[in-house]
Structure 1
Amino acid sequence: MPVISWEDPFCGEGANCFRIGTDTEGNAYIAVAGQEDRPLTDSREALRSLILEIKAGRADHLL
């Protein structure tokens, strides 16, 4: 498994905490806080697009 640099956990109102991380190969990761050993992975650009869509309110139906 690659070495992942994790950001501090982000927690929503219901204490649903997740973490975002990256590695040196250009991959991005997202995981439930405390379950970083089982992340979802994709490119940094895909993760950036997801975050922008969530912030714009276009992905609320997924949450």
Structure 2
Amino acid sequence: MSRLTLGKRLTCQPQGKSYSRIVARCTLPDGRSLSCAVIAAGAAGAAVRWDWYWRQYGMGECR
């Protein structure tokens, strides 16, 4: 994740709360979803998409 974000300005929009934590949709400067980019990188299980939560919080489509 540091390779994707270090020195870059992200845009994040809160989508709700889960277990008292804020859930946010963050976008990289080139318009890509940070969630999608981390999942696509496949960094040894660093992130997985759980469809129920993805839909619940309106995380959008990966391109």
Same fold (TM over 0.5): no
User: Scaled by the length of structure 2, what TM-score is found?
Assistant: 0.38
- Higher relative strand content: 1
- Higher relative helix content: 2
User: Scaled by the length of structure 1, what TM-score is found?
Assistant: 0.38
Query: Taking CA–CA contacts closer than 8 Å with sequence separation of 6 or more, which of the two structures ends up with the larger relative contact order?
Result: 2
